[in-house]
């Protein structure tokens, strides 16, 4: 999605305020639940940290990430992150972080993700690639409330690996996508690591939306639901340009989630 039209300081501040003050209209739901799904090392956990960094205006790193997780997913548990906005209050959306997808039999079990979408997976569940969660297991929530269910599904994929992503990985994501569509869960995608994906981008992140190379990359969901993001990973301070891209994606997640919970 191209957001260059709102790169004014005012607009940026308005979206920032919207994100911080947002409350779901449906009072059955305390917080929107946004589930992040994608290949290992794509930047799922980093995106959670990036959102918290934007909200707080300083670099945050509560969700653990790993530079060396090339072999297997660093995130192993189903964990929900609230985004603190200061003095004991938090935003009215949460992120469900998941184990990364892998090709073959490794990584998060696709069926576990489908169960998570329906709210059947309890907080802290340790993903097991060899065995899917089953009714009767301690971590199986048989009676999920609307709050336990996922309200927005976000695919997180590294922009520089999309064109070399194996069919098996696409098929797993497609499998989840069809299940989520059946449940009418809104979906969008963020392409991370855009700083590495295109030469020229690293010097000025604002240029990333102009890159035709990135624009052409599709995940099987409509182009206006794909957002380009550079996560806060090496920076020591937040900056308006990076914030704007993260806020643009986040605002759409909130709008989609709000529509979903109002239609339940």
Ligand X SMILES: Nc1nc2c(ncn2[C@@H]2O[C@H](COP(=O)(O)OP(=O)(O)OP(=O)(O)O)[C@@H](O)[C@H]2O)c(=O)[nH]1
Q: Which residues bind Mg ion (CB under 5 A)?
A: 44-45, 75
DSSP 53-74: HHHHTS----S---TTTTSS-S
DSSP 232-251: SSS-SS--HHHHHHHHHHHH
| Region of residue 75 (left: phi > 0; alpha: psi -120 to 50; beta: else) | beta
Q: Report, in angstroms and rounded to the nearest whole number, the Rg of the chain calculated over CA atoms.
A: 17
24 binds, among ligand X, Mg ion, none (CB under 5 to 8 A by kind): none
161 belongs to the binding site for ligand X (CB under 6 A): no
Shortest separation between residue 107's beta carbon and ligand X, angstroms: 8
41 binds, among ligand X, Mg ion, none (CB under 5 to 8 A by kind): ligand X
Q: How distant is the alpha carbon of residue 23 from its chain centre?
A: 19
60 belongs to the binding site for ligand X (CB under 6 A): no
17 belongs to the binding site for ligand X (CB under 6 A): no
Rounded Cα distance, 146 and 135, in Å: 19
The single residue among 53, 65, 92, 252 that binds ligand X, judged by CB under 6 A, is 65
Shortest separation between residue 65's beta carbon and Mg ion, angstroms: 6
Q: How many residues bind ligand X (CB under 6 A)?
A: 23
- DSSP conformation class of 208: G
Which span (6-14, 51-59, 70-78, 241-249) binds ligand X, by CB under 6 A?
70-78
45 belongs to the binding site for ligand X (CB under 6 A): yes
186 binds, among Mg ion, ligand X, none (CB under 5 to 8 A by kind): none
- Secondary structure class of 106 (helix, strand, coil): coil
Shortest separation between residue 126's beta carbon and ligand X, angstroms: 13
Decide if 29 contacts 261 (C-beta within 8 A).
yes
Rounded Cα distance, 46 and 30, in Å: 24
Walk across the sheet containing 32-37 and list its strands: 79-86, 89-97, 32-37, 152-158, 187-192, 226-228
Binding mask 204-243 for ligand X (x = CB under 6 A): --------------------------xx-x----------
44 belongs to the binding site for ligand X (CB under 6 A): yes
Shortest separation between residue 190's beta carbon and Mg ion, angstroms: 14
202 belongs to the binding site for ligand X (CB under 6 A): no
Shortest separation between residue 139's beta carbon and ligand X, angstroms: 19
Shortest separation between residue 163's beta carbon and Mg ion, angstroms: 23
Tokens 């189903």 locate to 78
195 belongs to the binding site for ligand X (CB under 6 A): yes
Length of the chain: 264
Rounded Cα distance, 264 and 260, in Å: 7
257 binds, among ligand X, Mg ion, none (CB under 5 to 8 A by kind): none
Residues forming contacts to ligand X in the complex (CB under 6 A) are 38, 40-46, 65-67, 69, 73-75, 100, 192-193, 195-196, 230-231, 233
């Amino acid at each position: 999605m191209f957001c260059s039209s709102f790169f004014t300081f005012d607009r940026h501040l308005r979206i920032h305020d919207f994100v911080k003050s947002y409350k779901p209209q449906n009072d059955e739901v305390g917080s929107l639940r946004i589930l992040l799904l994608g290949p290992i090392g794509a930047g799922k956990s980093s995106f959670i940290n990036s959102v918290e960094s934007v909200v707080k205006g300083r670099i945050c790193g509560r969700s653990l990430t790993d530079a060396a997780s090339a072999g297997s997913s660093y995130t192993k548990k189903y964990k929900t992150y609230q985004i603190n906005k200061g003095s004991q209050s938090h935003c009215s959306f949460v992120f469900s972080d998941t184990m990364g997808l892998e090709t073959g039999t490794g990584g998060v079990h696709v069926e576990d993700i489908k169960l998570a979408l329906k709210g059947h997976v309890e907080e802290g569940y340790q993903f097991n690639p060899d065995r899917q969660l089953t009714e009767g297991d301690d971590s199986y929530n048989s009676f999920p409330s609307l709050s336990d269910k996922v309200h927005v599904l976000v695919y997180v994929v590294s922009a520089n690996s999309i064109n070399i992503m194996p069919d098996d990985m696409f098929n797993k994501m497609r499998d989840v996508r069809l299940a989520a569509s059946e449940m009418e869960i809104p979906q969008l995608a963020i392409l991370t690591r855009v700083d590495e994906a295109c030469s020229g981008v690293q010097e000025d992140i604002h240029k990333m939306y102009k890159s035709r190379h990135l624009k052409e990359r599709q995940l099987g969901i409509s182009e206006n639901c794909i957002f380009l993001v550079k996560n806060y990973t090496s920076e020591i301070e937040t900056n308006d340009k990076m914030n704007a891209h993260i806020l643009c994606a986040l605002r759409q997640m909130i709008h989609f989630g709000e529509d979903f919970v109002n239609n339940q």
